[in-house]
Amino acid sequence: MAAKTTLNAKNLEALGAQRLAELLLEISTGSAAHKRRLRMELAGNHSSAEVGREVRKRLASIARARTFIDWRKVKALKTDLETQRKTIVDIVAADDPNEAFELIWQFLSLADSIFERSDDGSGSLIQSFHQACVDAGIIAKSAGMDAGVLASKICAAVQDNGYGQYDRLITAMAPALGKDGLERLKTLLMQWSREPQEKPVQRDRQVIGWSSKGPIYEDEIFGDHRELTVRIALQEIADALGDVDAYIAQQPEKSRKAPMVAADIANRLLSAGRAEEALQALDKVDTLRRSDVPFEWQLAYVETLEALERGDEAQAYRLQSFEGSLNDEHLRAYLRRLPDFDDMEAEEKAFAYVHAFPDAHGALAFFLRWPAPSEAAKLVIKRRMELDGDLYGLMTSAAGVLAEKHPLAATVVLRSMIDFTLDSARSSRYKHAARHLAECASLARYIDDFGSAGSHDAYLADLKHRHGKKHGFWSLSP
């Protein structure tokens, strides 16, 4: 049974309405966010219209604000935005979807004013606007809004999408627009694309790749900003209409040779049952001259081969791709398609291949992902001289995985980070290296034979001999 002091609804109810009201007033003192929440709840006791008025006032207040939002204030603003968004969705929309749509559209219009004065490296604020796009689509559908009106509003919005706040709007609105609304939106976008525009401000051209003839510039592939905006919007409309050919038509010929674009096209053709055309789209990519073929292209390729009933070729390509990149997804897919017991033998061969892979760190990362900690331990012991302690993320993860059952391997990994830190005199990492040294001392109790790695005492003596004058480190060590 929960104690009477446990914070739960039942215990709080026992305090009585008057005492709870006094506590809420006390807790909200000095907190604008808490006060706004209480006012919202009070408004909810009257009607959704009253709640809507409170939300509208708050959104207008946020729009008028001019103070800079540094990283310390982002969390509070995020909470405020989510309170307003959820209130629109959960309270206003249930009673008056038309009013809710106007409010969610007002919410979306805040994006420019917020991002112009904020520092949100985490990307948490944009998530609220992307979710609001989804909400807007649901509310518009519920309200049964006129498709032509919606098309006009959406067209105007995507024209001013400087911060990506409307990136998901067309897809979210597709059910509310319906086929006629999507066609109307397409017409409006095409009209806008043909309108005269002011001469664009000169800026440095963005290089997105290189060819035998020199740099490939962004505008050579995608055109100017308006052209790119319209093209992306028309692609979304094509997807919403299930029109694969319209989607492909929006891809410039040059871009169809890019692996990710080719994969996107192929996936859509596969979904439409057009596997031969999907293979043709993939074959536009020159994979022989590049070593960085994305996994997405490779996956589309094997799925296309499977759709064409060329399973043996697909299996051969999976194995080839695994051996080139150590991508575990390729190996898993390869093994799943083998007969019983053959998969175990194939896995053993694959592990042997990984152990001999030129990049020891890639091999270690593979065994951690699989996961195969015993194989990772073998690799670490065998190839300890190749370990780069500067790869802090990989080494920390490996040490954590190996510590319980493979203390010697974990020690070798920890030592690699200690050695790198001290050999490079990275004073900013001294506190981490000192912690790693303490972990090595703790693990030493569970190691019966250090082998060629040398005991902890021997390692510590050597460390003091080589780096005895690094007092900043030793002052942090136990």
Render pLDDT for 46-70 as a digit per residue (tens, 0 to 9): 567 888 999 999 999 999 999 999 8
Q: Which long-range contacts (CB under 8 A, 24 or more apart) does 294-299 make?
A: 294/259, 294/260, 294/263, 295/325, 295/327, 295/329, 296/259, 296/260, 296/263, 297/259, 297/260, 297/262, 297/263, 298/327, 298/330, 299/263, 299/329
Is residue 228 situated within a structural domain?
no
Is residue 171 situated within a structural domain?
no
Range 354-359 average pLDDT: 98
* Straight-line distance from the first to the last Cα atom of the chain, in angstroms, rounded to the nearest whole number: 45
Structural domain boundaries enclosing 464: 365-478
Is residue 144 situated within a structural domain?
no
Q: Taking a C-beta distance cutoff of 8 angstroms, is the pair 291, 272 a contact?
A: no
Is residue 413 situated within a structural domain?
yes
Is residue 427 situated within a structural domain?
yes
Q: Residue 312 above 90 pLDDT?
A: yes
Number of independent structural domains in the chain? 1
Q: Residue 469 above 90 pLDDT?
A: yes
Residues ≥6 apart with Cβ < 8 Å to 421: 389, 429, 430, 432, 433, 473
Is residue 25 situated within a structural domain?
no
* Alpha carbons within 13 A on the beta-carbon side of 146: 4
Nearest to 111 by CA among 36, 191, 169, 30: 169
Is residue 136 situated within a structural domain?
no
pLDDT of residue 209: 47
Strand partners, 215: 210
Is residue 465 situated within a structural domain?
yes
pLDDT of residue 373: 98
Top pLDDT among 8 and 2 is at 8
Tell me the two tokens of residue 344. Answer: 């175990």
Nearest to 197 by CA among 227, 240, 169: 227
Query: Which stretches of 295-429 are DSSP H helices?
Result: 295-307, 311-325, 328-336, 342-355, 360-369, 373-382, 392-402, 407-423
